[in-house]
Structure 1
Amino acid sequence: MAEEYVEKLIKFINPDEAVALYGAALQAAILLENTTEKIKDILLHDVNAFNIVTSGDVITPFIEYNTIIPIKKPKIFKLQSNSSH
Protein backbone atom coordinates (compact mmCIF):
# COMPACT_ATOMS: atom_id res chain seq x y z
CA MET A 1 0.00 0.00 0.00
CA ALA A 2 2.83 2.38 0.75
CA GLU A 3 3.74 2.40 -2.93
CA GLU A 4 0.24 3.62 -3.88
CA TYR A 5 0.10 6.60 -1.50
CA VAL A 6 2.28 9.68 -1.25
CA GLU A 7 1.45 10.28 2.42
CA LYS A 8 2.94 8.20 5.21
CA LEU A 9 0.61 5.37 6.26
CA ILE A 10 -0.83 5.45 9.77
CA LYS A 11 -0.33 2.03 11.29
CA PHE A 12 -2.24 2.51 14.54
CA ILE A 13 -5.83 3.77 14.34
CA ASN A 14 -9.06 3.04 16.15
CA PRO A 15 -11.00 0.62 13.87
CA ASP A 16 -14.34 2.31 14.63
CA GLU A 17 -12.93 5.70 13.64
CA ALA A 18 -11.43 4.26 10.47
CA VAL A 19 -14.78 2.80 9.40
CA ALA A 20 -16.63 6.02 10.28
CA LEU A 21 -14.17 8.22 8.38
CA TYR A 22 -14.22 5.95 5.33
CA GLY A 23 -18.02 5.93 5.29
CA ALA A 24 -18.18 9.69 5.75
CA ALA A 25 -15.73 10.24 2.89
CA LEU A 26 -17.73 7.97 0.59
CA GLN A 27 -21.00 9.67 1.51
CA ALA A 28 -19.48 13.12 0.92
CA ALA A 29 -18.24 12.09 -2.53
CA ILE A 30 -21.65 10.67 -3.41
CA LEU A 31 -23.48 13.79 -2.21
CA LEU A 32 -21.12 16.06 -4.13
CA GLU A 33 -21.64 13.90 -7.20
CA ASN A 34 -17.86 13.76 -7.41
CA THR A 35 -17.84 10.05 -8.06
CA THR A 36 -15.64 7.69 -9.97
CA GLU A 37 -16.72 4.42 -11.52
CA LYS A 38 -15.52 2.67 -8.36
CA ILE A 39 -17.98 4.43 -6.04
CA LYS A 40 -20.88 5.64 -8.17
CA ASP A 41 -23.01 2.57 -7.45
CA ILE A 42 -22.25 2.29 -3.72
CA LEU A 43 -25.22 2.54 -1.38
CA LEU A 44 -24.39 3.15 2.28
CA HIS A 45 -26.60 1.82 5.07
CA ASP A 46 -26.36 2.32 8.82
CA VAL A 47 -26.28 -1.10 10.45
CA ASN A 48 -26.26 -2.26 14.03
CA ALA A 49 -26.73 -5.22 16.34
CA PHE A 50 -28.29 -5.27 19.79
CA ASN A 51 -28.40 -8.07 22.36
CA ILE A 52 -30.18 -8.31 25.70
CA VAL A 53 -28.92 -10.34 28.67
CA THR A 54 -31.86 -12.36 29.98
CA SER A 55 -32.45 -14.78 32.86
CA GLY A 56 -29.47 -16.99 33.62
CA ASP A 57 -27.10 -14.55 31.91
CA VAL A 58 -28.25 -15.77 28.49
CA ILE A 59 -27.47 -13.35 25.68
CA THR A 60 -30.58 -13.00 23.54
CA PRO A 61 -30.18 -11.39 20.10
CA PHE A 62 -32.73 -8.62 19.72
CA ILE A 63 -31.51 -6.97 16.53
CA GLU A 64 -29.41 -9.32 14.43
CA TYR A 65 -25.90 -8.40 13.28
CA ASN A 66 -25.80 -6.10 10.22
CA THR A 67 -29.50 -5.18 10.43
CA ILE A 68 -30.19 -1.96 8.53
CA ILE A 69 -31.43 0.77 10.88
CA PRO A 70 -33.78 2.34 11.73
CA ILE A 71 -35.85 -0.75 12.47
CA LYS A 72 -38.96 -1.46 14.51
CA LYS A 73 -38.94 -4.91 16.07
CA PRO A 74 -41.32 -5.41 18.99
CA LYS A 75 -40.54 -8.25 21.37
CA ILE A 76 -41.91 -8.82 24.87
CA PHE A 77 -39.56 -9.47 27.79
CA LYS A 78 -40.82 -10.08 31.33
CA LEU A 79 -39.09 -8.87 34.48
CA GLN A 80 -37.70 -11.67 36.62
CA SER A 81 -38.85 -9.86 39.77
CA ASN A 82 -40.47 -6.55 40.66
CA SER A 83 -37.16 -5.25 42.02
CA SER A 84 -35.25 -5.83 38.77
CA HIS A 85 -33.38 -2.80 37.48
Structure 2
Amino acid sequence: VLTAMPTFALTALRFPAKLLKEIDKCRRRFLWGHDQELSGGSCKVSWGRVCSPVEHGGLGILDLTKFSRALRLRWLWYAWK
Protein backbone atom coordinates (compact mmCIF):
# COMPACT_ATOMS: atom_id res chain seq x y z
CA VAL A 1 0.00 0.00 0.00
CA LEU A 2 2.88 2.36 0.75
CA THR A 3 4.00 1.96 -2.87
CA ALA A 4 0.63 1.61 -4.60
CA MET A 5 -0.84 4.92 -3.44
CA PRO A 6 2.08 7.09 -4.61
CA THR A 7 2.24 5.12 -7.87
CA PHE A 8 -1.40 5.95 -8.58
CA ALA A 9 -0.74 9.65 -7.99
CA LEU A 10 2.55 9.63 -9.92
CA THR A 11 0.77 8.61 -13.12
CA ALA A 12 -0.60 12.15 -13.42
CA LEU A 13 1.37 14.35 -11.00
CA ARG A 14 4.99 15.27 -10.46
CA PHE A 15 5.92 15.04 -6.80
CA PRO A 16 8.65 17.24 -5.31
CA ALA A 17 11.86 15.35 -4.52
CA LYS A 18 11.46 16.11 -0.82
CA LEU A 19 8.05 14.42 -0.75
CA LEU A 20 9.44 11.32 -2.46
CA LYS A 21 12.21 11.18 0.15
CA GLU A 22 9.65 11.38 2.94
CA ILE A 23 7.62 8.55 1.40
CA ASP A 24 10.78 6.46 1.12
CA LYS A 25 11.53 7.25 4.76
CA CYS A 26 8.10 5.90 5.74
CA ARG A 27 8.61 2.78 3.64
CA ARG A 28 12.05 2.17 5.19
CA ARG A 29 10.67 2.66 8.67
CA PHE A 30 7.87 0.18 7.96
CA LEU A 31 10.31 -2.39 6.61
CA TRP A 32 13.04 -2.15 9.26
CA GLY A 33 11.76 -0.36 12.34
CA HIS A 34 7.97 -0.58 12.35
CA ASP A 35 7.14 2.62 14.29
CA GLN A 36 10.59 3.60 15.54
CA GLU A 37 12.80 6.31 14.12
CA LEU A 38 15.65 4.86 12.10
CA SER A 39 19.28 5.69 11.70
CA GLY A 40 21.55 4.22 9.05
CA GLY A 41 22.99 1.66 11.47
CA SER A 42 19.68 -0.05 12.24
CA CYS A 43 18.87 -0.81 8.60
CA LYS A 44 19.81 -4.36 7.64
CA VAL A 45 20.45 -3.72 3.92
CA SER A 46 21.03 -0.55 1.91
CA TRP A 47 17.94 1.02 0.33
CA GLY A 48 19.49 0.78 -3.13
CA ARG A 49 19.79 -2.98 -2.68
CA VAL A 50 16.21 -3.27 -1.41
CA CYS A 51 14.95 -1.40 -4.49
CA SER A 52 16.81 -3.66 -6.91
CA PRO A 53 14.90 -6.45 -8.72
CA VAL A 54 14.44 -9.83 -7.08
CA GLU A 55 16.59 -11.44 -9.80
CA HIS A 56 19.51 -9.29 -8.63
CA GLY A 57 19.10 -10.05 -4.93
CA GLY A 58 16.76 -7.21 -3.96
CA LEU A 59 13.19 -7.14 -2.73
CA GLY A 60 11.76 -5.56 -5.87
CA ILE A 61 10.43 -2.46 -4.10
CA LEU A 62 10.11 0.42 -6.54
CA ASP A 63 12.49 3.34 -6.34
CA LEU A 64 9.90 6.12 -6.54
CA THR A 65 12.29 8.72 -7.97
CA LYS A 66 13.22 6.56 -10.95
CA PHE A 67 9.70 5.20 -11.34
CA SER A 68 8.12 8.68 -11.40
CA ARG A 69 10.55 9.71 -14.11
CA ALA A 70 9.70 6.60 -16.14
CA LEU A 71 5.98 7.36 -15.84
CA ARG A 72 6.48 10.94 -17.04
CA LEU A 73 8.60 9.74 -19.96
CA ARG A 74 5.85 7.31 -20.88
CA TRP A 75 3.40 10.22 -21.13
CA LEU A 76 5.83 12.05 -23.39
CA TRP A 77 6.20 8.97 -25.58
CA TYR A 78 2.45 8.62 -26.05
CA ALA A 79 2.04 12.34 -26.67
CA TRP A 80 4.78 12.26 -29.31
CA LYS A 81 3.49 9.13 -30.97
Q: TM-score, normalised by structure 1?
A: 0.27
Higher radius of gyration, 1 or 2: 1
More helix by proportion, 1 or 2?
A: 2
The structure with higher relative contact order (CA 8 Å, sep 6+) is: 2
Q: TM-score, normalised by structure 2?
A: 0.28
More strand by proportion, 1 or 2?
A: 1
